[in-house]
Structure formats: structure tokens, C-alpha cells
Amino acid sequence: MCAVPLSLKAAILLGVPEILNEAGPDAKLTSEEISKLIVSPGGTSADAENLDRLLRVLACHNIVTETCVAACPSNPQATERRYGVTPVLKYLIASNETGMSLSPLFLLRTDSVYTSAFQYLHAPVLDRNAEPFVIANGKKIIDVLETDSRLSELFDTSMAHHTHMWVSMLLETYRGFEGLTSLVDVGGGVGANLAMILSRYPDLRGINFDLPHVVAKGIQSPRLEHVAGDFFQSVPRGDAVWMKWILHCWSDESCVKILKSVNRALPPRGKLINMDSVLPETSDSSVETQINVCADMLMMAANKGGKQRTLTQFRKLAQDAGFSSVHLVATVDTLSVLEFHKG
């Protein structure tokens, strides 16, 4: 049922996570109290009763806490519901230290361009060339992002926030950037990945590579250069290449072309450090696998030929692109780092 994600989306748009957070870790607010803090675009006051209905959905799914208390001491039957933050909600609230959260990614994934594409998941089963996103929106996501500034802004922001959160966790344990002097981020968006990595490695120089309209919005950071281009043609040279969330957007054939461009840009014995989800060979009911297979449906809906892959499938791509080996070297939550080595 779409009511749960879309109720959460409504709460984010209304600023409810921030309102609960600012009230403090132990605060429990009624919908009446929350509604008074909602800033409505037209200056009208928010409807507390409808807000309460929305919050009950979130409470039933442990996204907010709900405490029932007597509303009036003289009438113990009359109760009121009070709501508070949960650890899950914290992921949707901008961190005090970094300003990052998963809210932009959640708003992106629940945008109507994606939810409309999900109406057509049956289409690529009936015809493997069918593209749900194109059926729903009339063009490919990459073409929408080039012209729709609202969606493009949301896309770039959500990638930058997600990257900041996941790459900072990776940098706690992964040591594969040590000893490098230059690192190229292929499909690096506005450069958030590299800015994070360079901040930990003062001797490292970074080249952020993406499409022209994306690098035009590139962030400015010490030792970070932006280069525009097309990874199907070529990518800039560097000691090593980093990629995050690129291969799952593309078909096997396209991935081999991208990987061949990367291979050509690497020195002998160079490596590609690739961060992506690795699908297990068999299904299970763990949260990680549930997220992974649902992300696979997102890829089927949004990108022709896009898919989550098993380690065996990554090894086949690497072999077809001329890499000598692939090693799974780190895992952060649902994302893994695979090093593709050039012989």
C-alpha cells in the first residue's frame, strides 16, 4: 500500500520531523501543538485533525512514537495522542554537524516521476525492451533531468546527501585510497564524493567527471577539479577511479562500455573502487535483502537494462571489460565496495 511512504512524504513536506526534533528528545507533542508550528504557504493554519490521522500512520510503523495520555483529569475517558521522535526519524532530519539527511532521497524516490513508472513494472516482463519510466513520463530520466530544474536539483542534492552519509561511514574503515595521488570520480554528480574523500587525504587530487549540465553546478573544494564528458566515450586519467551508484543504472552491454573507458584511463595495475549494492544469490527476509530487491525494482522501473547485480554478475562485467580480478573489500549497510583490478 502506498499510504505509508506517501504519508511520510507529506510529513516531510510539512516539516514535521524538524518540528518534533526541535521540541527535544523527550518531547511529546499533540497534533494541535505541531499544527501551530507548521508554516503553510498561504499563511493559513494547519488542520490538526487531518495531521493527527497522518501521524497515526507513522506511529503504527514506528516512524514516530505515540503516547496516549488523559486529556482532561475530570474525564479519564478523554485521551489525546502525543507524538515524538524515533531513531528512524533521525535519518530524515538534517544533522547538526553536516546538514545531511535522507529526506531529499526519500522525496526523490516518492516523486511522481518514479511512482508513476512503478505502475508499469509488468511491462518489461511482457517485453524486455519496455521502459516503465518512458511509458509513464514520455522520456528517459536522463532527459528529464537535463530540462527539469526542480527534479535535477532534488536529484543532485539527494545524491550528495546520501554520498556524504555513506562515504563518511566507509572512510572509517576502508584504507584503499592510501598511497594514491589522483582519483577520478566517474559519474560523480556535483563532486560530493570526492570532496569527502579529499578532506581525509591531504595529498590526494580529485577529478570529478560527469555530464556538462551536472558539473556546471559542481561544488568548489580544495584540490577538486571538474571535468565534463561522456563516460561511454572516455574518462580522465588518474591513479585510481571511484564510482558510486553508476553500474546499477545500466544494462550489461552499457556497463562493459563504461568499464572499458575506465580500464583505458587506469595505469598498469591500477584499480577501480566501485561502490554499489551486491545482490545475494538467494533470497532471504533480512532488511538488507528486502532493500536490495526493492532497489532492483526501482532500476527496472527507471532505467532500461538497469539492475542490481550479484558478485558473479559483477565479475562477468569486469572480465568482459578486461579487468583481471574483482574483490569485495568493504560493506557499509546495504552498499559494498568492489575493487576491480587491472592486470
Ligand X SMILES: C[S@@+](CC[C@H](N)C(=O)[O-])C[C@H]1O[C@@H](n2cnc3c(N)ncnc32)[C@H](O)[C@@H]1O
**Residues of the shown chain interacting with ligand X in the complex, contacts defined by CB under 6 A:** 159, 163, 187-189, 193, 210-211, 214, 230-232, 244-246, 249
The residue among 231 and 314 lying less far from ligand X, judged by its C-beta, is: 231
Q: CB of residue 245 vs ligand X: minimum separation in angstroms?
A: 4
Q: Alpha carbon 224 to chain centroid distance? A: 22
Cα distances from 157 to residues 105, 134, 193, 205, 278, in angstroms, run: 8, 23, 12, 23, 24
Which residue in the list 161, 164, 226, 248 is annotated as catalytic? 248
Q: Which helix (H) or strand (E) holds 256?
A: helix 252-265
Give me 56's grid cell: 497515526
Distance of CA 85 to the CA centre of its chain: 22
In whole angstroms, the minimum distance from the beta carbon of 336 to ligand X comes to: 14
The answer to whether 61 is a known catalytic residue is no
Residues 6 or more apart in contact with residue 319 via CB below 8 angstroms: none
* Closer Cβ to ligand X, 84 or 187, answer by number: 187
What ranges make up the beta strands (E) of the chain? 64-70, 79-85, 182-186, 205-210, 224-228, 240-244, 271-276, 325-332, 335-341
Q: Select the residue whose beta carbon is closest to ligand X and give its number.
A: 187
Closest listed residue to residue 224, CA positions, set 247, 246, 202: 202
Nearer to ligand X, 52 or 210 (CB): 210
Task: Determine the Cα–Cα distance for residues 290 and 283; give it in Å rounded to an integer.
Answer: 9
CB of 337 to ligand X, least distance (A): 13
Q: Which is nearer to ligand X, 12 or 170 (CB)?
A: 170
CA distance linking residue 253 with residue 268, whole number of Å = 24
Residue 7 beta carbon to ligand X: minimum distance, rounded to whole angstroms: 26
Closer Cβ to ligand X, 38 or 228, answer by number: 228
Instruction: Give me the least distance between CB of 37 and ligand X, in Å please.
Output: 32
How far is 161 from 174, CA to CA, in rounded Å?
20
Select 17 or 191, whichever has its Cβ closest to ligand X: 191
Q: Which three cell numbers stand for residue 114?
A: 518514479
Q: Which residues contact 221 (CB under 8 A, 6 or more apart)?
A: 191, 194, 195, 198, 199
Q: Give least dist CB 310 to ligand X, A.
A: 20
* Residue numbers annotated as active site: 248
